[in-house]
Amino acid sequence: MLSSQSGSILIVDDERHLRETLREIFEEASYQVWEAGDGQTAIEQLQSGSASPDVVFLDLKMPRLDGLATLRMLHDSASWRTIPVVIITSFGTSDNTIEAMKLGAFDYITKPFNEEEVIRAARRAVEVARLGRELDSLRDQVSRSRLGAEGELIGQSAAIREVFKLIGKTAPADATVLITGESGTGKELVARAIHRHSLRADGPFVAVNCPAIPESLLESEMFGYERGAFTGAVRDQMGRFESAAGGSVFLDEIGDLPVGTQAKLLRTLQDHVVERLGGRSIPVDFRLIAATNRSLEQLVAEGCFREDLYYRLNVVRIHLPPLRERRADILPLAEGFLWRHGQERSDAPRGFTEEATRLLLAYDYPGNVRELENIVQRALVLARGALITAADFPIPLAGETEPGISQFRGAELLTRPLGEAVQSLEREMIRRALARCQGNKAEAARLLGINRQLLYTKLKELGIE
C-alpha cells in the first residue's frame, strides 16, 4: 500500500533480532522498511538504489563499517548528507552518542526500545526529510544570491519598502538624515546603505558612537585639537568630521550628546566648519547621518536637547518600525540569516519546520532584527538535520515570556561567545523545567522537548544537581 505509507526507513544493525523488532514496530505504523546488517551493506544498498529511505536508523557497534564511520560517510556525500540519521544506542554509552550528535545525527533512541519513542523519532525524522526535499526543489527555483549579501537590507513589508524608497530618494542629495527606531531595528545598516548609494560612496563612512566615547574626549574626537590645546596634546590632531572629507559622518545615538557638544555640532552643521580645540577653524566637507533610539521630541521638551539642533537634524526623517509591527519581514530575514550564517557549513539546515515557522511569526522580538539574527545563529548551532525545529529556539520564543532570561534580550547577547551563551541558556532552561516539574525528570524532559536520556546527558555535561 504505497499510497498510505508513513515514510521509508533503512534499519542498520548487526543484531537480527533487533532489526526484526524494529521492522515490526515500523510496519505496524505503515512504514516501508529495508534492513542492513552493517554499515558497509547499508552504503552498498544506498549506492545501488536498492534502498532509498527517508530516514536511516543506525546502530553504533557493528562489524565491518561501524556506526560512526557510516555516519561520517553519509554526511560526506552530497546525495545522502540530508538523510536524517537516528542513532540506536545502548543505555550508558553517552560518549558515542554525543560524538554521533556532534557528527550531525538527527536524534537517537536507546535500547531496550520504547515503542512510542521509536515511532516518535521516526515521525519527526521523516517530516524533516520531506520538508527538506520540498525546500530543496523550491530553492532551485529561487537563486540563493537573492537572499541578501552582507550589508544588504532584507525585507518585503510595506513599511520596509517605504524605507527603501526613502533611502533611494534621499541618498543622492546631501541632506542631513535622521534615522529613528528601537534598538536592533537596523539604523546603522540604513545609514550605511544611504552612504553606499550616495554621490559620496567612494569617500569614507565615519561612524561615531556618541555614548561610547567619554564626555571629556568627545569634543576632541569629533572636532580635533591643536598642539598644546591641553596637557598631552603634543601634536595637531584632526577630528572625525575632518577625516570624513568627501564622505559621510554617522552620529549614532545622537540623543546622548551632551548639551555643550550639541552647540558645537550645530555650528559645524550651519557653517560646515569645525573649530579644533585650542585654535583654528577648518572648512569641512561631509554629509551628516544621525540615529537615535530615543525620542528627540521628548528630549527637547525636557530641555536635554537643543531645539535648533533638532530642526537642523530633522530634515529627512527615516523611521524604522519595530519588527513586531512589520511581521512580513520576519521570514525573509530569518531565511536570509540562515543562509548567511550557514553558508560556510555544508551540513547547515536549509529551512524551518512548520512549527518553527509559526513560532518565529508569533514572537514579539523586543530586541528586534538583532534578536532574530541571534535566534537563527543559535538555532544553527543546535539544529540536527535539514530543518530547524521549535526545539532549537530559546524559551521566550517557544511561548514563555519570562523576563528572567535576559541573555536573549538584544545587544547584551553579543557580549559573550556563542558557545558559552548557549550553554548558560541551556542550564537556565533545564533548571526552570526541573523546578516547574518539582524535579520530575521525565516531565521536565517533555517540557523541554527532549528525551530523558538526553536530559541526563545534559545534566551531567552542565553540572546540574
Ligand X SMILES: Nc1ncnc2c1ncn2[C@@H]1O[C@H](COP(=O)(O)OP(=O)(O)OP(=O)(O)O)[C@@H](O)[C@H]1O
**Region binding ligand X by CB under 6 A among candidate stretches 2-10, 61-69, 148-156, 279-287:** 148-156
Whichever of 188 and 443 has its CB closer to ligand X, that residue is 188
Judged by beta carbon distances under 5 to 8 A according to partner kind, the member of Mg ion, ligand X, none in contact with residue 369 is ligand X
**Region binding Mg ion by CB under 5 A among candidate stretches 29-37, 165-173, 181-189, 254-262:** 181-189
The one among 15, 44, 188, 443 contacting Mg ion by CB under 5 A: 188
Site for ligand X in 283-322 (CB under 6 A): 293
Shortest reach from residue 154's CB to Mg ion, in Å: 17
The residue whose grid cell reads 537572499 is 147
Judged by beta carbon distances under 5 to 8 A according to partner kind, the member of Mg ion, ligand X, none in contact with residue 180 is none
Three-class secondary structure of residue 379 per DSSP? helix
- Asked if 364 interacts with Mg ion (CB under 5 A), we say no
Three-class secondary structure of residue 287 per DSSP? strand
C-alpha cell at 20: 526484526
Whichever of 240 and 384 has its CB closer to ligand X, that residue is 240
- Asked if 369 interacts with ligand X (CB under 6 A), we say yes
**Region binding Mg ion by CB under 5 A among candidate stretches 67-75, 180-188, 271-279, 308-316:** 180-188
Across 329-441, the runs of DSSP E, i.e. the strands, are 351-352, 387-388
Closest CA to 358 of 387, 330, 321: 330
Closest CA to 237 of 200, 267, 278: 278
User: For residues 157 and 271, is the Cβ–Cβ distance under 8 A?
Assistant: no
Distance CA 22, CA 374 (A): 39
> In this structure, which long-range contacts are made by residues 277-281, counting pairs with CB atoms below 8 Å and at least 24 apart in sequence?
277/219, 277/220, 277/223, 277/224, 277/225, 277/226, 277/229, 277/230, 277/233, 278/225, 278/226, 278/227, 278/228, 278/229, 278/230, 278/233, 279/225, 279/226, 279/229, 280/226
- Asked if 457 interacts with ligand X (CB under 6 A), we say no
The one among 94, 96, 176, 183 contacting ligand X by CB under 6 A: 183
The one among 44, 99, 188, 355 contacting ligand X by CB under 6 A: 188
- Asked if 138 interacts with ligand X (CB under 6 A), we say no
- Asked if 411 interacts with ligand X (CB under 6 A), we say yes
Shortest reach from residue 183's CB to ligand X, in Å: 3
Across 127-253, the runs of DSSP E, i.e. the strands, are 177-181, 205-209, 247-252
Q: CA torsion, points 31, 36, 37, 42, in degrees to nearest 10? A: -140
Shortest reach from residue 408's CB to ligand X, in Å: 15
Whichever of 369 and 429 has its CB closer to ligand X, that residue is 369
Size of the site for ligand X (CB under 6 A): 17
- Asked if 97 interacts with ligand X (CB under 6 A), we say no
Q: Which residues pair with 209 in a beta bridge?
A: 252
- Asked if 189 interacts with ligand X (CB under 6 A), we say yes
Q: Name the site residues for Mg ion (rule: CB under 5 A).
A: 188
Q: Name the site residues for ligand X (rule: CB under 6 A).
A: 153-155, 181, 183-189, 293, 333, 369-370, 373, 411
